[in-house]
């Protein structure tokens, strides 16, 4: 009887952990998004680039991003690079993050200081340098 209770307890704990992992993956971490599922609109002003992403498949859209400085051999900052990875989530009615996201980057008028904004989709990478799309 005791062995049966221990097996049932272990099986129950494993089932709960598996379910929690699946829910976190689908509603929090998300999954990679294809560029074909996203509408991309962008506009450049003199000092700013704004990129608007709209996920078309009815899921919510989030992103993770990382910015780093580009340095020369003397460790002087000569540019910046920001990478965004759009991710899709199953729609959570309790936390409606929405299917639209706006990303932005400041553009320095000094052309010796390149500003890169990179969107890394599942199927391709899109790159803007100083607000100009270079894909």
pLDDT tens per residue across span 88-117: 877 666 666 667 888 888 776 665 778 889
Range of the domain at 66: 31-133
How many separate domains does the chain show?
1
**What pLDDT shows up at residue 13?**
94
Q: Does 5 reside within a domain?
A: no
Q: Does 19 reside within a domain?
A: no
Q: Does 23 reside within a domain?
A: no
pLDDT tens per residue across span 2-42: 888 899 999 999 999 999 988 777 666 778 888 888 889 99
Strand 77-89, strand 60-71: pairing:
antiparallel
Q: Which residues in 54-87 are b (16+ Cβ under 10 Å) and which e?
A: ebeeebbbbbeeeeeeeeeeeeeeebbbbbbbbb
Q: Which residues in 14-27 are b (16+ Cβ under 10 Å) and which e?
A: eeeeeeeeeeeeee
Q: Does 82 reside within a domain?
A: yes
**What pLDDT shows up at residue 61?**
82
DSSP class of residue 29? I
Q: Does 118 reside within a domain?
A: yes
Residue 65: which pLDDT band, with cuts at 50, 70 and 90?
confident
């Amino acid at each position: 009887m005791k062995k049966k209770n221990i097996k049932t307890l272990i099986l129950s704990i494993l089932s709960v952990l598996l379910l929690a992992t699946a829910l976190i993956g689908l509603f929090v971490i998300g999954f990679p998004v294809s560029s074909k599922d996203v509408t991309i609109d962008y506009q450049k002003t003199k000092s700013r680039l704004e990129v608007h992403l709209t996920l078309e498949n009815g899921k919510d859209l989030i992103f993770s991003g990382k910015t780093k400085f580009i340095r020369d051999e003397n460790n002087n900052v000569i540019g910046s690079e920001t990478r965004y990875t759009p991710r899709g989530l199953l729609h959570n009615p309790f936390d409606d993050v929405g299917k639209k996201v706006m990303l932005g980057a400041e553009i320095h008028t000094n052309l010796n200081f390149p500003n890169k904004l990179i969107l890394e989709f599942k199927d391709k990478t899109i790159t803007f340098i100083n607000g100009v799309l270079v894909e």
